[in-house]
């Protein structure tokens, strides 16, 4: 038990540091378990609210490096030891961690309008300025209404139709019979898909520069040094943003004038029945954000699913049988949605390796979260990936078990926030249908041409400097189907 005290030493309450649940690295417990729990802020007198317990961690950097190393295992550890509402030092600030279904639901649905997107703006505005997830209130509602015109069912079918030929051209050429770093191969593939579907273009030297610029922007978001200094990730991110602006602005006039069916053209022409439309600046800002979000999250999910298929060959063979049963015809949206085994595998992969494990908010006023006092201006991390391992919801949560999403079990329905890989509330991902179909199409083509294997005992280590990325590139083997 640890006593929570005010700055003057007054005893406020006691916090029981619970034992760590199964599945969490014991070294993490030793590194992150608070030695002295202190309150974030004293609750208003007479409010009956509790202080948020936690600790700052090492000076300046706080627990940033622990999060980068352990990702959702770190937020799970804080949840296990301190409860659903705690705080820690992070990238130079004190951040409240909201974890567990009830806490994340309250933050993401924001019923009393106490949480703003300034939590994201603090981290990424310099690199993804006015992307949809950074907007609030009426501004967000208008932009989301316009953007929905680019994600209607007919348009998504068109995007799928553009996606499959790219996959069929590239995936059969991947080397077989030796260990490969699959993650960078998937990243190049999803960038090629994104440039073709979103830009009506194909990858080349210029696209590789664009890819590097996107990576620099994503990595800069978690910089501890947040100034434009030589040799820093922050400076690389600023240079990357400038390159992306030049790239999209140069292409914008032709997209405005043309009649293309790619996403860039759709954003240029999108208009609501009320006449709302995007300015040139809006289109550039949204394209930079959407291109990053589309190919990064699809890469992470495809990589995780490829690993789990390799590590669980019985599921791989079951999924392959369904894919081969479709024949050699180019699959449309309905065909991809008929691949039930892949659907279960992808959902389970999203649970175990959420591509966006946390979302950031900032309080606009004093508020209460599950009986805890949060002051105005407080940075808040809604750690949705923690929900994916809640033993009250999931059977053996650290075990790969796609059947938990089957109609006979549907463990994800135990709570409305049990499984939230696409976020929640009004900021839930607009592109989740296309993203899921793209990952399905990638895995479908991969299974049609290759058998995926993994070295015995291997498990990926995810680097969380930005979004989760396998630190070693995910070494897998692709074998001919006859083996």
pLDDT of residue 16: 47
Region 137-479: CATH code? 1.10.630.10
Q: What is the mean pLDDT of the chain?
A: 90
Is residue 296 scored above 60 in pLDDT?
Answer: yes
Q: Could you tell me the pLDDT band of residue 20, with boundaries at 50, 70 and 90?
A: very low
Q: What is the pLDDT of residues 98-137, one digit of tens each?
A: 999 999 999 999 999 999 999 888 888 999 999 999 999 9
CA-to-CA dists, residue 196 to 29, 301, 379, 443, 445, angstroms: 45, 20, 37, 19, 18
Are 161 and 285 within 8 A, CB to CB? no
Domain residue limits, the chain:
137-479
Instruction: Please provide the size of the chain in residues.
Output: 483
| Mean pLDDT for the stretch of residues 427-450 | 95
* Both tokens assigned to 394: 């999931």
Write down the pTM of the prediction. Answer: 0.91
Strand 93-99 and strand 379-383: pairing? parallel
Distance CA 1, CA 21 (A): 17
Q: Rg of the chain's alpha carbons, rounded to an integer? A: 23
Distance CA 31, CA 74 (A): 10
Beta bridge partners, 99, equal 383
| Mean pLDDT for the stretch of residues 216-228 | 82
| Secondary structure element (H or E) that encloses residue 55, with its range | strand 53-55
Q: What is the pLDDT of residues 28-58, one digit of tens each?
A: 666 677 878 999 999 999 999 999 999 999 8
Are 182 and 472 within 8 A, CB to CB? no
Quick one: what percent of the chain has pLDDT higher than 70?
93
Q: What is the pLDDT of residues 454-482, one digit of tens each?
A: 999 999 999 998 889 999 999 999 999 97
Q: What is the pLDDT of residues 280-290, one digit of tens each?
A: 999 999 999 99
């Amino acid at each position: 038990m640890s006593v929570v005290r005010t700055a003057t030493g007054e005893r406020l309450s006691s916090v029981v540091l619970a034992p760590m649940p199964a599945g969490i690295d014991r070294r993490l417990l030793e590194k992150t378990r608070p030695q002295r729990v202190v309150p974030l802020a004293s609750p208003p007198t007479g409010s009956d609210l509790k202080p948020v317990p936690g600790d700052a961690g090492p000076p300046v950097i706080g627990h940033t490096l622990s999060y980068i190393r352990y990702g959702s295992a770190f937020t799970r550890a804080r949840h296990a030891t301190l409860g659903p509402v705690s705080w820690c030092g992070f990238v130079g600030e004190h951040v409240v961690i909201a974890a567990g279904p009830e806490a994340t639901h309250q933050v993401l649905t924001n019923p009393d309008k106490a949480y703003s997107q300034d939590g994201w703006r603090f981290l990424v505005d310099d690199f993804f300025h006015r992307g949809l997830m950074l907007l609030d209130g009426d501004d967000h509602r208008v932009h989301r209404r316009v953007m929905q015109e680019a994600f209607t069912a007919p348009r998504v079918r068109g995007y799928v139709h553009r996606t499959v030929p790219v996959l069929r051209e590239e995936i059969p050429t991947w080397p077989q019979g030796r260990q490969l770093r699959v993650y960078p191969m998937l990243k190049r593939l999803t960038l090629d898909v994104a440039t073709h579907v979103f830009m009506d273009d194909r990858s080349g030297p210029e696209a590789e520069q664009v890819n590097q610029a996107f990576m620099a922007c994503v990595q800069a978001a978690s910089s501890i040094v947040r100034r434009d200094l030589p040799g820093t990730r922050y400076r690389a991110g600023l240079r990357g943003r400038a390159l992306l602006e030049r790239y999209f602005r140069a292409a914008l006039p032709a997209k405005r004038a043309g009649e293309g069916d790619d996403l860039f053209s759709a954003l240029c022409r999108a208009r609501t029945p009320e006449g709302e439309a995007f300015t040139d600046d809006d289109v550039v800002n949204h394209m930079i954000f959407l291109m990053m979000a589309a190919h990064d999250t699809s890469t992470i999910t495809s990589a995780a699913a490829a690993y789990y298929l390799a590590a669980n060959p019985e599921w791989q063979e079951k999924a392959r049988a369904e894919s081969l049963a479709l024949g050699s015809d180019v699959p449309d949206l309905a065909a991809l949605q008929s691949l039930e085994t892949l659907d279960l595998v992808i959902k389970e992969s999203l649970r175990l390796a959420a591509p966006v494990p946390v979302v950031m908010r900032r309080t606009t006023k004093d508020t209460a979260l599950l009986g805890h006092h949060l002051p105005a201006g407080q940075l808040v991390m809604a750690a949705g990936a923690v929900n994916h391992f809640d033993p009250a919801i999931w059977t053996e949560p650290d075990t790969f078990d796609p059947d938990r999403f089957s109609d006979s079990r549907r463990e994800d329905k135990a709570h409305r926030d049990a499984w939230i890989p696409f976020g929640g509330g009004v900021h839930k991902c607009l592109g989740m249908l296309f993203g899921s179909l793209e990952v399905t199409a990638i895995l479908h083509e991969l299974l049609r041409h290759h058998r995926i294997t993994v070295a015995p005992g291997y498990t990926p280590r995810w680097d969380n400097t930005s979004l989760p990325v396998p630190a070693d590139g995910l070494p897998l083997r692709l074998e001919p189907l006859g083996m």
